[in-house]
Structure 1
């Protein structure tokens, strides 16, 4: 005979199993519902009055070709895209912000980006790239370029044939964790003000490699493997240029006294290089050009204001004259316009003496 206590335990176990099964089914349905709710197509969005498409995390293997060609923001992040070719963005030439990070991009065909003349920001981070397509550096409006977390160890050699100075006015450049041992030579970059080269084995980094970047204001050196002396010399030189340096290494402090480092004897005032001087000259020429344009704009505005004022004065005189004529006609008086000169008519010509004498002589004859 089964004891009541055992029956109670069996009932409790059975109820527990039912509850567990019910919760498992509920969780399964919840997971299924979540997967079903997940968008399976690109969603159109509008940001800052710009048309954009969010195609992130859709397991895409190629660029969609059925979206509005006038899109300006294109988010293709977190997909499975491997290859890009010249047809990938051929119909999206108005795009300004293109996000391709967290894909599997290995190959980019020549001229893939060459027609994107409106592109201002490009993110190719976290892919499998081994180089950067050179047409990217010819884009006329590209300001932000992110290529972090790619295998770009040979980038400096790949860019030997790059036309310099580059046309793209790059202001922000991210090369973090790209296996770089030295800074690639992009030529003169007078617009660059933020550079991230963190998490790279920068064993060949020197201060001269920063000479073409005379406008550099922020440099991220966190987790870089720079030799102590090189790091301190670079930090000292760039600090004089008022560049903010982010570095987690305690030994990489600026050198302002001989007691601060064992590298003090290696530090000497470095003469400005030709690249740095050229960079400064470009920025100075741009500043003068901007000031000249501003001055001509002010002069043109002043001349236009004078013309408008003179026109208003003439218009006021005209209105006043018309008003005077109208009031004179109402009062029955013939009003002479201000600008009209009185000339007597033929019947009212004054008689002169010579005229009377000639008349008498003619009468006597």
Structure 2
């Protein structure tokens, strides 16, 4: 009888395949468990005593309409939302912070954000927008606006239909990588202090475009294509206004006198800067209004304090007098009941009564 020949290599290969298959199944189950652990609906969160919902990374295609209507923070980032309309946020008019970055938003219907009068921060970064809805710039409390990584080719044309200066008190504006060749004309921006226009082909950028931003404190120009002389002039002017410039182009800050002289020849006398002056007038008027309100508040507080102190003093003396009268009335041996004394005539003296004729006649008869 012929015995089968034992092949060790085949056994080892079979064992290896079995171990690999087992590990693959285990890895697959682990991955599946991880996916199951991910929340499949919006999570209610509270931040700084505000009601918020975290709806990020849920593959949403539209705005959920089953959340609490009094929410103030709504995070819808990393989803697949394409369109927004008037009904998208009709239930959430109390929202203050709205995050829509990393979606696929292409179309935003007119008046989508009109009712969000309490909105303070809006992030529309990394979408497929060609412009920004103009009603956003009419929101009375909007301070932070992020629209980076959008090809905003139509923004300048849409801003021509907007009344200037804009109503929104924007303080932080991020328009990085938006394919802008020059700054959009928003009118004067007296509240803006941080601007990011990095990674834009700013071939038409001039220092005059920053005139309406008299309060600008931080400007990001990294990876921005700017002509050499325009960049040098702008850097010099804005640095004199105490604006911190973030720029990775060394030619924007000339090190040698020859570089300065070359650009100085191309600089023409600047016309009177009316936008900057108008911006400063608005800021100064606001400062004066704030000081006036503060002064009136202090005066009112002082008058109110005097009235309260005077009232407390009167109350103190009144209580003191009442207590003193009670102490005097309660002394031992003193009759507290008043005595009514009657004068009785002595001897033959008769009381003289002046009232009545009858008494006089009787007296005359005697």
TM-score w.r.t. length of structure 2: 0.88
Match runs of 1:247-286 below 5 Å:
247-253=247-253, 259-260=259-260, 262-267=262-267, 270=270, 272-286=272-286
Counterpart secondary structure, 2:212: coil
Match runs of 1:43-122 below 5 Å:
43-122=43-122
Structure 2: segments with no counterpart, 5+ residues: 344-352, 355-359
* Whole-angstrom distance in 2 between the partners of 1:24 and 1:347: 125
C-alpha contact (below 8 Å) 2:134/2:158 kept by paired residues = no
RMSD: 2.5
Query: Structure 1 residue 329: deviation in Å?
Result: 2.1
The aligned counterpart of 2:136 is 136
- Alpha-carbon spacing, 1:188–1:327, altered in 2? closer, same or farther (3 Å): same
The aligned counterpart of 2:202 is 202
* Whole-angstrom distance in 1 between the partners of 2:113 and 2:192: 21
Deviations 1:324-344 (A, max 9, x none): 012112214479xxxxxxxxx
Query: Structure 1 residue 124: deviation in Å?
Result: 0.3
C-alpha contact (below 8 Å) 2:122/2:144 kept by paired residues = yes
* Whole-angstrom distance in 1 between the partners of 2:175 and 2:77: 18
Query: Structure 1 residue 14: deviation in Å?
Result: 1.8
C-alpha contact (below 8 Å) 1:219/1:246 kept by paired residues = yes
* Whole-angstrom distance in 2 between the partners of 1:280 and 1:113: 30
Counterpart secondary structure, 2:250: coil
Query: Structure 1 residue 83: deviation in Å?
Result: 0.5
The aligned counterpart of 1:191 is 191
* Whole-angstrom distance in 1 between the partners of 2:96 and 2:190: 22
* Whole-angstrom distance in 1 between the partners of 2:228 and 2:92: 48
C-alpha contact (below 8 Å) 1:173/1:196 kept by paired residues = yes
Match runs of 1:202-351 below 5 Å:
202-253=202-253, 259-260=259-260, 262-267=262-267, 270=270, 272-332=272-332, 333=334
For these two proteins, the number of residue pairs brought into alignment is 345
- Alpha-carbon spacing, 1:297–1:290, altered in 2? closer, same or farther (3 Å): same
Structure 1: segments with no counterpart, 5+ residues: 336-344, 349-357
Counterpart secondary structure, 1:251: helix
Counterpart secondary structure, 1:262: helix
Query: Structure 1 residue 316: deviation in Å?
Result: 0.7
Query: Structure 1 residue 158: deviation in Å?
Result: 1.8
* Whole-angstrom distance in 2 between the partners of 1:29 and 1:216: 54
Counterpart secondary structure, 1:125: coil
Query: Structure 1 residue 258: deviation in Å?
Result: 5.6
Counterpart secondary structure, 1:263: helix
* Whole-angstrom distance in 2 between the partners of 1:261 and 1:253: 13
C-alpha contact (below 8 Å) 2:71/2:95 kept by paired residues = yes
- Alpha-carbon spacing, 1:87–1:2, altered in 2? closer, same or farther (3 Å): same
The aligned counterpart of 1:23 is 23
Moved more, 284-293 or 150-159: 150-159
Deviations 1:16-45 (A, max 9, x none): 111101110001101111111111111101
* Whole-angstrom distance in 2 between the partners of 1:45 and 1:321: 60
Deviations 1:298-325 (A, max 9, x none): 0001000100110011011011111101
The aligned counterpart of 2:126 is 126
Moved more, 36-45 or 63-72: 36-45
* Whole-angstrom distance in 2 between the partners of 1:120 and 1:168: 9
The aligned counterpart of 1:160 is 160
Query: Structure 1 residue 161: deviation in Å?
Result: 1.1
Deviations 1:232-282 (A, max 9, x none): 111111111110010111101168956546312234674551111000000
* Whole-angstrom distance in 2 between the partners of 1:346 and 1:299: 60
Counterpart secondary structure, 1:35: helix
Moved more, 249-258 or 216-225: 249-258
The aligned counterpart of 1:150 is 150
C-alpha contact (below 8 Å) 1:81/1:105 kept by paired residues = yes
